[in-house]
Amino acid sequence: MTPTLFLLSNDILLPIVAIIAVFGVGGFIVLKIIQLIRDAILSRRAPAQSDAVIRKLQEFEQRHEQLVKRVQNLETIIVDADLGNPDTGGQSRDESDDRTLKNKLL
């Protein structure tokens, strides 16, 4: 009885393995096709994304320029307060009040 079951299991085992292999290869091919379609769709969206990146870079440059101007203004105010610049009232640091400096910085 055992040899008959052994032959029967080999006869059934080979088609099962073949079916699994066919479905595995077929599934792999279908997944690769889906991945290619997804990549094609994403590549069509790329110009819109690059426009957004360019816009964000321009906004960053504007903010950077504003910050540079603000830092330069603050440096000017601090140097004027330290040197007692006549344009700011001719006060030296010893004569100036901390409140006036804080008001200038705000």
pLDDT score at 3: 54
Q: Please report, for the chain, the start and end positions of each structural domain, with discontinuous segments joined by +.
A: 2-105
| Residue of 105, 26, 34, 95 lying closest to 71 (CA atoms) | 105
Helix (H, G, I), strand (E, B) or coil at 24: helix
> Residue 6 in 3-state DSSP?
helix
CA–CA gap between residue 19 and residue 28 (Å, rounded): 14
Question: What tens digit of pLDDT does each residue of 5-41 get?
Answer: 555 566 788 888 999 999 999 999 999 999 999 988 8
Nearest-angstrom CA–CA distance, 12 and 28: 24
Q: For the full predicted model, state whether its pTM sits above 0.95.
A: no
pLDDT tens profile 65-90: 999 999 999 988 888 877 765 555 54
